[in-house]
Every structure is written in structure tokens, then in C-alpha cells.
Amino acid sequence: MIIIYLAIACGVIAVVYGFVTSGQVLKAPPGDQKMQDIAAAIQEGAKAYLGRQYRTIAIVGVIVAVILFLTLGPLTTVGFALGAILSGAAGFVGMNISVRANVRTAEAARTSLQGGLTLAFRSGAITGMLVAGLGLLAIAVLFWYLIGIAGHAPNGRAVIEALTALAFGASLISIFARLGGGIFTKAADVGADLVGKVEAGIPEDDPRNPAVIADNVGDNVGDCAGMAADLFETYVVTIGLTMISIALLVPGLVGEDLLALMSLPLIVGGVCIITSIIGTYFVRLGKKQSIMGALYKGFWATALISVPAIYAVTSAALGDMNATIGGGFTGADGPSFTGWGLFICMMIGLAVTGLLVWITEYYTGTEYRPVRSIAKSSETGHGTNVIQGLAISLESTALPTLVIVVAVVATYQIAGIIGIAFAATSLLALAGMVVALDAYGPVTDNAGGIAEMAGLPDDVRTRTDALDAVGNTTKAVTKGYAIGSAALAALVLFGAYTTDLRHYATELGLTGEVDFSLSSPYVVVGLLLGALLPYLFGAFGMTAVGRAAGSVVEDVRTQFREDSGIMAGTSRPNYGRTVDIVTKAAIKEMIVPSLLPVLAPIIVYFVVMWVATMGAPDPLPIEYGSAEAYGRAQGFAAVGALLLGVIVSGLFVAISMTSGGGAWDNAKKYIEDGNHGGKGSEAHKAAVTGDTVGDPYKDTAGPAVNPMIKITNIVALLMLAALAAAGSGGESMMVAIGG
């Protein structure tokens, strides 16, 4: 129990860090009146958007909560609500600090690069620590309540269901926030560029462009709030899933031993919050004034300090590091394991994090072949830029896949599925630092915009541009990291699904093992349908951005037409109207695609079950008692395959989109730095096209694949529980359907 208290303490420290650092950031000078006015407009727009987004999500959330209450009872509902509210809170708080740090970063950049870097990074660190801290607190406090106050067994069904519901709440909010925010930010960005840069011929962030405030709002609601909700979800799902998999797969363990092992992911997460906070103090410019180098110093310091820290808490929690843990396994036919084994798995997790960061840097950094090849191909026009960008985006999936494949096999050989789960836990334990690096990006992006709009001297803009450039890489890093953790978690989620199937076999009316062999046509069909989801989801996201951007273009054209003073610079454009239009469009567009992964497992189960029952072979194989039992088994097999299909295809779709998009963006930046003709050249125009294409790729469709994968898996787990509850009681399900 002491371990859980320690983990809660670490979570509290993260929150305290957030408050203290917020105070420091807010104390920094907010610039002149003009800058403050602009910042106020951005704040107002961001708040208005997030308010409306949360109200819309709340409606969906309440409906889901009622369904959960009727089918699975109050505990699940509370877990769901907790996850949903905290996921929303993580996004809200992150956005709130980000819209205040932007103007202060611009002001600090008047004096020095280090000043701007410190402010922007501190603001990012607040978001990062709050994401990790709130995530850890949510799980740890819930776990503490369930086993302490409510008196459930650590591996009891109540704990498993509550943790699953917590993850579901976080996932549901995060898919809306990621997608809605992603559509907002890119619709505003693309729309502003199209009508400003292309049609009117005015530069980016020109205050005459009515969409310019919407563009800056987008950075905060998409890249900051949406990203924070997404990473909160990833954190909660991964740590929670590790605990669930211990509860499900190591039944031989009881009493203190069980509690210690189940608390280990919590304290690993806790201690890594501390190492992340320490790491933030290593972020300083060196002699070379390399911004990326400064950020990396923080990251690598955190990673290095985490090695002994994780060892310390592991040996403290488990005692003898060489003792074999657990007796028989169910579901995981891996070897039994030791504390040392788990520690090595966690080190593999850290190594995966480092490798994913390095690979993303290679594919999106301006010093390496991929970005330079796109820049070079821009010389021959728009078409060749896009062709080369697509080639790089396809290619960029290879190394991360190999890293994940090696990690899966190695950790599985050491400690079975539990080993994979612990690797994912240590990967995510660094979330505080990784999110800090990412949330730094929108602040500097905004700072640049404010500097431009407020007419600050050119050297300020040069400094904010330098700060912003590395943001493209750090943003890509977080997305690769999140999807990488999803791939690592895939087998663990599948393990939870199969174990639950076995657990509920009687209630579900299953008479034999569900056959997940690739030679079953229902499995192949499930794989194909699962693989389709990221494609369809991506298509929705890309189309939504195109449509919403179109409405921005029309509004701006109308404003230019109605008031010729705007272009002349004599009258102020109606920024609020554009923000309002993008807000409405983004919220309208996010609903349908977000429901796709929620409904897919349910629809696939019922359709396949019905079809397989109808077409059950005659004579029936012995193990199935009836055609219905055969049909149910095939339905569950198809859903299981769907879960793996969605990750097998989603991993590639997500990585290719996020890395490719980052590479396109930085190829443009590389040309703007004076290569291949520099700004204004034909190559630059082609690179702008590539950047526009990459925008919805990397900031809308690609990153939303990560919560989409999780939500499909969690809905499948909840569906099993709901079907089982209906099977034994029946009434609750009928009430839900009837009322």
C-alpha cells in the first residue's frame, strides 16, 4: 500500500510543479498593449472553441454514461466519468497555459533566444507534467479506493472493470479532442494559407488576414489541447492495461506479492515524473546555440536518470529481484519471470523510446537525406515534391516497425505478455518529458504569429522561427511515440480480450475455445475490416479538413469583398466570425468519424454472429453445442481479428502520415533557409504545396489513429462485459434497449 501512496505523492508533485511553474510563466512580462490584444483574441477564440467542443462531447458522454450505467452498473460509470473529465481537464489546462505563454515567449524573444526557449519550454513542461500527473493520480487514486475503501481484491473483477472504464472515458474524449482539434487547426491553417498567401499574396500571419487568429487558435486547441487529451489517454490506457494484464494473466499471485506487482507500473510512472521534472532543468542552449540540442539534453537526461530510478523502485517493490514471480499463466504461454526480467523489459521500453525519437528525427530533421530529398525534388515542381514526400512517408514506416517487432519478441521471450506490457509502461512513463517537448511547439508557433501581427522587429521573428522549426520534429516525435506504444500494447490488449472471453465463456454462451487461427475465414475477414478502419477514418479526416478549409476561404473572400479597408490595413477584420465558422465546421465534422471505431466492433460482432449462425456447417463441429454457439464464437473471432487488423494497418497509416507530414513541413523550412533558391523561388512554391498536403496528414488524420485504435479495443472489452451481464441477468440489457 505504501507504494501506492508514493505513486500518489509523485502525481501530486507533478500537479504542484504545474502550479508553481505556471506562476513563474505568468509573472513574465506579457508585452505591449498590441501584443496583449492579439493574445486576448487568441485566448477568447480558444476558450470559445474548447467550450463548445466539450459541450458537444458532454452530450455524447452522458448518453454513453447512461448506457454504461444500465448495462454495467455504477462503478463502471464512475470510472468512465473520471477518465472523461480528467482527459478533458488535461487538454483544458494545457491550452490555458499555452495561450498565456505564447505572448510572453514573443516578449522574451525580444531579448534572447534562451529567454524565449525557457518560457516556451516551461509552458510545455507544465502541460507535460499535468498530463502524466493527472493520469497517474486517476489510476492510483481509483485503485487505492477500490482495494482500500471498497475492499475489493486487487485482481478482482471490480478493479478490472473500473480501470477499463477509466480508459474508455479517457479514450472517448481524446478521439473527439484529437480529431475536432485537428480539423480546426488544419482547416484554419490551410484556409488561411490558401486565401492569404496564394490568393491575396500577403505573408503568413499577416494581421490583414481574417483567418489569422483562427490559425493561431488552432495551434492551441489542436496541437496543445487535443494532443494533451490524446497523451493522457495513452498514458492511462497503457499503465491501466499493464495492471489489468497482471490481474488477468498472473492468477497464481496473491496478497502482498500481487499488490506489489500491480503497484509497480504506478510507481514506475511516479518516479519517472520526478526524473522528467529533473530533466527539464537540463534544457539549456549550449555553445552551438542548437535548440534541438537543448531539448534533447532534457530528454536524454530524463532517460538516463530513469534507468537507476526504475531499478530502485522495482527492487524496492518486488524485494528479491531474482525470485520467480507468479505460478501458472493463463493465456500467456511465455516463461515465468523475475524482477530482473521485468527490469530488462522496461529498459527495452526506454530503448524503444530513444530509437523512435532518433528515427523520427532522421525522417523529419533538415540535416538528413529524407527532408533534403523532398527539398531537392521541389526544384522540378509541385508534382515531384509530392511524389517524393509520399515516397518518404511510405519508407518512414520501416524502421519503427522493425524496432517494435524486435521489442515485442525480446520482451515476450523474457516475461511473456507481462513483459510486453512493462515495456509499454516504461515507454509511456517518459510521457511527461515527451509531452513537454511537444507542447512547446504551439507556444513558439503562436509567439511567431504574435510577433508578426504586432509588428515586432525582424530579429524577434527570426528567433521565434528558429524556435518553431524544431517544433515540427518534436511534434512528429510524440505522434510516433504514441502510435508505437499502441503497437506494443496491441498484443497485451488482445491478451486481455482473449482472457475475458475465457472468463465470461459461460455467460456468453461459448461452448469451446474461440478459434483465432489465420486459417479461419472469419479471422481473415476481421483482419480486413480492421485494416479498413484507419483508411476510412483517414479519408473522413482529410475530407473534413478540405471542406472546413473551403468555408474559411469563402468567409475571408466575403470579408475582403465587403470591406476594402481590410486589405488596405485601415480596418480590422472580423477575426471572431472566422473563428466561429471554423468552430462550427470542426465540431460538425468530428462526430461521424469519431463514432466509427466505437461502433465498428459492435456491428462486426452482431453481423458476423448472425451470418455465421445462418451459415453454420452441417454437421456442426462437435465442440459447438448449437448453431448459435458456433455463430457467437465466429463473431468473437472476427472482433478479435478486427482489433489486430486495426493496429496492423493503423501503425503504417499513422507513421507514414505523421513522419511524411513533418518531412514536408521541414523541407519547406529548409528551402526558406536559403537552399534550392530560397523563399519566393519556384522550389519554394512547390514546397508550400507539399506542406499544405502534409498538414491534414500529420495533424488531423495521422495522430487521431492512435486513440482510434485504443477505443476499438476498449469498446470490444466493454462489449464482452455487457454481453456477459446481459447473458446472466438479461434484464439490464433489455432495460437499456427498451428504455
> Which residue type is seen at 504?
Y
Please give the residues from 194 up to 213 whose contact with its own copies meets the rule CB under 8 A: 194, 198
Lay out the site mask for its own copies across 546-565 (x = CB under 8 A, - = otherwise): x--xx--x------------
> Which residue type is seen at 631?
G
Please give the residues from 134 up to 193 whose contact with its own copies meets the rule CB under 8 A: 190, 193
Q: Which of 232, 235, 522, 575 binds its own copies (CB under 8 A)?
A: 522
How many residues in the chain? 739
Lay out the site mask for its own copies across 428-467 (x = CB under 8 A, - = otherwise): ----------------------------------------
Question: Could you tell me the three cell numbers for 597?
Answer: 471505431
Nearer to its own copies by Cβ, of 108 and 533: the residue is 533
Q: How many CB atoms lie within 10 A of CB 562?
A: 10
DSSP 170: H
Nearer to its own copies by Cβ, of 395 and 563: the residue is 395
Closest CA to 39 of 234, 217, 181, 238: 217
Nearer to its own copies by Cβ, of 146 and 392: the residue is 392
> Please, what is the minimum distance in Å from the beta carbon of residue 656 to its own copies?
7
Q: Which of 23, 201, 286, 519 binds its own copies (CB under 8 A)?
A: 519
> Please, what is the minimum distance in Å from the beta carbon of residue 556 to its own copies?
12
Nearer to its own copies by Cβ, of 545 and 725: the residue is 545
Closest CA to 124 of 106, 143, 102: 102
> Please, what is the minimum distance in Å from the beta carbon of residue 378 to its own copies?
11
Interface stretch with its own copies, choices 2-10, 145-153, 341-349, 610-618 (CB under 8 A): 610-618
**H/E element, 504:** none
Closest CA to 497 of 249, 156, 169: 249
Q: Is 618 in the site for its own copies (CB under 8 A)?
A: yes
DSSP 699: I
Residues 498 and 455: beta-carbon distance below 8 Å: no
> Please, what is the minimum distance in Å from the beta carbon of residue 42 to its own copies?
24
Distance CA 479, CA 662 (A): 11
Q: Which of 126, 239, 525, 705 binds its own copies (CB under 8 A)?
A: 525
Interface stretch with its own copies, choices 19-27, 353-361, 459-467, 515-523 (CB under 8 A): 515-523
Q: Which of 334, 442, 573, 601 binds its own copies (CB under 8 A)?
A: 334
Nearer to its own copies by Cβ, of 58 and 611: the residue is 611
> Which residue type is seen at 168?
F
> Which residue type is seen at 333?
D
**H/E element, 338:** strand 337-338
Nearer to its own copies by Cβ, of 617 and 678: the residue is 617
> Please, what is the minimum distance in Å from the beta carbon of residue 230 to its own copies?
21
Question: Could you tell me the three cell numbers for 410?
Answer: 525480446
Q: Is 509 in the site for its own copies (CB under 8 A)?
A: no
Distance CA 74, CA 259 (A): 25
Please give the residues from 395 up to 424 whose contact with its own copies meets the rule CB under 8 A: 395, 397-398, 401, 404-405, 408-410, 412-413, 420
> Please, what is the minimum distance in Å from the beta carbon of residue 642 to its own copies?
11
> Please, what is the minimum distance in Å from the beta carbon of residue 312 to its own copies?
28
Distance CA 159, CA 544 (A): 39
Distance CA 300, CA 292 (A): 12
Please give the residues from 480 up to 499 whose contact with its own copies meets the rule CB under 8 A: 487, 490-491, 494-495, 498
Instruction: Say if residue 619 is preceded by a cis peptide, omega within 30 of 0.
Output: yes
Nearer to its own copies by Cβ, of 168 and 497: the residue is 497
Distance CA 525, CA 562 (A): 55
Q: Is 427 in the site for its own copies (CB under 8 A)?
A: no
Nearer to its own copies by Cβ, of 30 and 631: the residue is 631
> Please, what is the minimum distance in Å from the beta carbon of residue 375 to its own copies?
13
Lay out the site mask for its own copies across 367-396 (x = CB under 8 A, - = otherwise): ----------x--xxxxx-xxx-xxx-xx-
Question: Could you tell me the three cell numbers for 118?
Answer: 525557457
Q: Could you give the 3-state DSSP secondary structure of residue 516?
A: coil
DSSP assignment of 183-197, as one string? HHHHHHHHHHHIIII
- Using CB under 8 A as the binding criterion, the count of chain residues that bind its own copies stands at 88
Q: Which of 278, 292, 536, 591 binds its own copies (CB under 8 A)?
A: 536
Distance CA 486, CA 466 (A): 32
> Please, what is the minimum distance in Å from the beta carbon of residue 83 to its own copies?
27
Q: Which of 225, 545, 667, 708 binds its own copies (CB under 8 A)?
A: 545
> Please, what is the minimum distance in Å from the beta carbon of residue 686 to its own copies?
8
Distance CA 509, CA 728 (A): 10
Which residues touch 154 (CB under 8 Å, ≥6 apart)?
A: 143, 147, 247, 258, 259, 262
Q: Which of 611, 628, 673, 679 binds its own copies (CB under 8 A)?
A: 611
Q: Is 588 in the site for its own copies (CB under 8 A)?
A: no
Distance CA 411, CA 422 (A): 9
Q: Is 539 in the site for its own copies (CB under 8 A)?
A: yes
Nearer to its own copies by Cβ, of 585 and 644: the residue is 644
Please give the residues from 61 up to 120 whose contact with its own copies meets the rule CB under 8 A: none
Distance CA 477, CA 388 (A): 21
Q: Which of 180, 226, 538, 601 binds its own copies (CB under 8 A)?
A: 538
Interface stretch with its own copies, choices 134-142, 456-464, 473-481, 535-543 (CB under 8 A): 535-543
Nearer to its own copies by Cβ, of 40 and 198: the residue is 198
Lay out the site mask for its own copies across 308-327 (x = CB under 8 A, - = otherwise): --------------------
Interface stretch with its own copies, choices 26-34, 154-162, 537-545, 710-718 (CB under 8 A): 537-545
Phi, psi of 623 (to 5 degrees): -65, -20
Interface stretch with its own copies, choices 144-152, 290-298, 447-455, 522-530 (CB under 8 A): 522-530
Distance CA 9, CA 276 (A): 15
Q: Which of 293, 335, 354, 509 binds its own copies (CB under 8 A)?
A: 335
Please give the residues from 669 up to 728 whose contact with its own copies meets the rule CB under 8 A: 688-689, 691-693, 696-697
Which residues touch 577 (CB under 8 Å, ≥6 apart)?
A: 210, 555, 559
Q: Is 524 in the site for its own copies (CB under 8 A)?
A: yes
Closest CA to 693 of 654, 670, 665: 665
> Please, what is the minimum distance in Å from the beta carbon of residue 540 to its own copies?
8
Nearer to its own copies by Cβ, of 518 and 568: the residue is 518
Q: Is 649 in the site for its own copies (CB under 8 A)?
A: yes
Nearer to its own copies by Cβ, of 378 and 464: the residue is 378
Q: What is the three-state SS of 80-121?
A: HHHHHHHHHHHHHHHHHHHHHHHHHHHHHCCCCHHHHHHHHH
Closest CA to 5 of 257, 266, 265, 238: 266
Nearer to its own copies by Cβ, of 137 and 523: the residue is 523
Residues 64 and 718: beta-carbon distance below 8 Å: no
Nearer to its own copies by Cβ, of 34 and 557: the residue is 557
Distance CA 108, CA 91 (A): 25
324-327 long-range contacts, CB within 8 A, separation 24+: 325/250, 325/253, 325/257, 325/261, 326/250, 326/252, 326/253, 326/261, 327/251, 327/252, 327/253
Residues 422 and 265: beta-carbon distance below 8 Å: yes
